[in-house]
Amino acid sequence: MKITEVKVFPTEKNDKLKAYATIVFENCFIVRDLKIIEGQKGLFVSMPSRRRKDGTFRDIVHPLNSDTRKLIEESIIKEYNNVKDLERD
C-alpha cells in the first residue's frame, strides 16, 4: 500500500493538539481528521474516533498492524515538521 498524499493543518492553539491531518492511499482512499498530538514521549498520531453512548471513544479507522501504523505515523509527522518549518520562514 502506498501513501500518495499527506496534508497537515496546524492548530492555532499551543496545547497538546498540534494539528489535524488527511492522508490518501493509492490515490483512491482518503482518511480525514487524524490528530497530531504532543505526548510525554513526543508527537504521535491519533486515529479518527467517535464517542460511544457510554462516553468512551472508539476508532473509526485504524491500521491492523504495527508496520502500517508506523508508516502512517512517520509520513504524517514528517509532513507536520515540513509545514512547521515553512511557517517559521
Which residues touch 45 (CB under 8 Å, ≥6 apart)? Answer: 21, 34, 35, 36, 37, 72, 73, 76, 77
Mean pLDDT over the full length of the chain: 92
The enclosing domain of 49 has a CATH number of 3.30.1120.40
- Predicted structure pTM score: 0.88
**Per-residue pLDDT tens for 14-46?**
789 999 999 999 999 999 999 999 999 999 999
Domains held by the chain: number:
1
Q: Quote the radius of gyration of the chain (alpha carbons, Å).
A: 13
pLDDT for res 59: 92
Q: Residue 39: which domain range?
A: 3-88
**Per-residue pLDDT tens for 51-77?**
999 999 999 999 999 999 999 999 999
Q: How far apart are CA 27 and CA 39, in angstroms?
A: 31
The answer to whether 7 and 76 are in contact (CB under 8 A) is: no
